[in-house]
A and B are shown apart, each in its own frame.
Chain A
Amino acid sequence: MESDLIAVRGLRVSFGSDAGVARVLDGVDLTIRRGEIMGLVGESGCGKTTLARSILGILPPHATRIEAGEIRFEGRDLLGLGEKTLASEIRGRAIAYIPQDPFTAFNPVFTIGTQIDDLMRFKSPLLRGGALSGRDRRRQDRARVLELLRMVQLPDPEGVLRKYPHEVSGGQRQRLMIAMALLPEPQLVIADEPTTALDVTVQAQILTLLKRLAREHGVAVLFTTHDLGTAYEICDRITVMYAGQEVEEAPVASFFDAPSHPYTRKLLDSLPSSENGIRGIAGEIPRLIDPPSGCRFHPRCERATEECRTTRPPPEAVAAGHTVRCHHPLEGGA
């Protein structure tokens, strides 16, 4: 437990809409250790982004409600902190964010330099000591910014700072986002599908860069994706979500070699391969307004029994660091 950086327990979040209340997260557990890259995998709409935003505390306040649960970050429950504390001490300080779409995440009418300067003005790690004079701090921050821009392999860092966001390419903007996420020297970076909006050729470069820099800085990453391939490449451990619940958590090796949850198995089978061709998963993703009881996957699972319909399975360890929530887990590698 000593090495846990963040521990989400029993998180329940619901969205209000015209059609009714959607239970978007239903008792989710998630643990990330210091310095590890955790992949959060699942289909679109399974609650990955909602979970990421819950941790940052940036869910739309009117439409969403956090019903239950806790998010312990270094021992503090983030859900108990006020908006002011979250904004000044957690977001952009302890926990940084890399958005899904680097095209629209920059403010279009300010130069990149202005936006980075404003970030450093409030989030610079040098602010924490408090010993430096304003001018010294700004000078050192400036040097630090340029150094990081070089680290994310941006050509001509000084020039980029003078540019407007639309004047640089998507790949470069995402490199900038990575640099900005690392500048405050956070303990955790939340990267919400950071490469989905990019060209395939650029994706690989960005992922490698993200992984290398995370390792070098010893920063933990929560990496959400619906693409198992990218998860395999950069993650240490993987958590699978289905319809607002986490179903399995495993180190990357045993995740791919010995999946225990029927859903994980089917997810892996749906990857196109030379033996199987392309296979889908029978059935439909459930409506979150009126979700299935018990294990939410039971209507699509051939192993489902009465027990699955009534009670949600508790987490059970099947191997070291490998837990699954299933009444009838698959035996090793089946």
Chain B
Amino acid sequence: MLRILRKLMEDRAALLGLVLIVLLVLAAVLAPLLSTHPGDVAEFHTARRLSAPGAENWLGTDRMGSDIYSRLLFGARITITIAVTAIAVAVAIGVPIGLIAGYYEGIGSDLLMRVSDIFLAVPQIVLAIAIAQTLGPSIENVILALSATYWPFWARLVFAETRSCKNEPFVEAAIALGCSPYRVMVLHILPSISSSIIVRTTIGMGGTILTAATLGFLGLGPPPPTPEWGRTIAESREFLPMAWWYAAFPGLAIFLVVMGFNLLGDGLRDVLDPRLRRAARHGK
């Protein structure tokens, strides 16, 4: 564990990713303290509407005169809530399905994998749009739509890893020693495939945040006055090119956060994936 952390610290790109994620979490947790206008999530001041970035409003104001900087901080809370919950649900559905389908061989397993293949056969955003449209715009429904479309990624990954793991001597030995299937899956297989799951989950966070922002942009996210980043960008379009800050900063926030997860995921893969690790050594 320490060794992995140390290796990760050596990778400047991954370190930057970690810093960006920590900043996101800090922004979300400390939003009431860090924001200059904590009330602006709900309040508006029409006199100040669409004012450019300055001393009073660091990143300018929106069409209601609310402070964009403050709203971005509170928006981080929504982003984290959506991404973490949706991914947690997707992992909670996908990993057991992949484990069971990978461990047992039979029609049931084939069927489970066929179903996840079908989910993967449609672009995630399209399915998410259909689900979110049916359920109506709210945080819970965005989460539902995302977890319903993203679980097959983990099911597929865990299935493939479990199948190849099943023929490893240590798993065969555990089975031969009479361990129950549950024990074998949870205590023997799961730990040895956990690094792939961690890498996939980290990169999945970035993708989920992007999809969630897109749903928000399309008006399928949490309804106003929620300071959701994607929706804010959609709102800004009417006021371009004049109020450039209105569109620029929320997008920058999305970019930095997704970049953070992608950089960390990329770095983690280099450190955790033994095949790549061996290849990387030749480099220097």
Q: Which residues of A contact B (CB under 8 A)?
A: 17-18, 60, 62-63
Contacts and interface: CB of A to CB of B under 8 A. Distances in A.
A79 to B, nearest CB: 21
Contacts, number: 8
Nearest to B277: A18
Contacts of B275: none
Nearest to B7: A18
Given A18-B281, A62-B283, A62-B284, 5 more contacts: A17-B281, A60-B282, A62-B282, A63-B281, A63-B282
8 contacts: A17-B281, A18-B281, A60-B282, A62-B282, A62-B283, A62-B284, A63-B281, A63-B282
A289 to B, nearest CB: 14
Interface in B225-284: 281-284
A17 B284 CA distance: 9
Contacts of B283: 62
A18 B284 CA distance: 10
B6 to A, nearest CB: 12
A63 B281 CA distance: 8
Nearest to B284: A62
A325 to B, nearest CB: 32
Interface of B: 281-284
B20 to A, nearest CB: 28
A62 B280 CA distance: 11
A304 to B, nearest CB: 35
B284 to A, nearest CB: 6
Chain B, interface SS category: loop
Contacts of B284: 62
A286 to B, nearest CB: 22
Nearest to A62: B282
Contacts of B282: 60, 62-63
Nearest to B283: A62
Nearest to A18: B281
A63 to B, nearest CB: 5
B243 to A, nearest CB: 52
B273 to A, nearest CB: 16
A17 B282 CA distance: 8
A334 B106 CA distance: 63
Nearest to A61: B282
Contacts of A60: 282
A60 B283 CA distance: 10
A155 to B, nearest CB: 36
A17 to B, nearest CB: 6
A18 B283 CA distance: 11
A263 B284 CA distance: 36
Nearest to A64: B282
A24 to B, nearest CB: 15
B60 to A, nearest CB: 50
A250 to B, nearest CB: 37
Nearest to A16: B284
A63 B279 CA distance: 11
A288 to B, nearest CB: 16
Contacts of B281: 17-18, 63
A276 to B, nearest CB: 31
A67 to B, nearest CB: 18
Contacts of A17: 281
A63 B282 CA distance: 5
A18 to B, nearest CB: 6
A62 B283 CA distance: 6
A17 B281 CA distance: 7
A60 B282 CA distance: 8
Contacts of A63: 281-282
Contacts of A62: 282-284
A62 B284 CA distance: 6
A17 B278 CA distance: 10
A185 B164 CA distance: 45
A6 to B, nearest CB: 28
A44 B228 CA distance: 61
**Those 3 A-B pairs whose CB atoms lie nearest each other, nearest first:** A63-B282, A62-B282, A60-B282
A273 to B, nearest CB: 32
B11 to A, nearest CB: 15
B270 to A, nearest CB: 13
A18 B282 CA distance: 10
Contacts of A18: 281
A148 B284 CA distance: 42
A65 to B, nearest CB: 13
A63 B284 CA distance: 6
A156 to B, nearest CB: 37
B279 to A, nearest CB: 11
Nearest to B282: A63
A22 to B, nearest CB: 12
A46 B213 CA distance: 58
A322 B118 CA distance: 70
A219 B157 CA distance: 52
Between B282, B283, B284, the greatest number of chain A beta carbons within 10 A of the residue's beta carbon is seen for: B282
A92 to B, nearest CB: 24
A17 B283 CA distance: 10
A60 B279 CA distance: 12
A62 B282 CA distance: 6
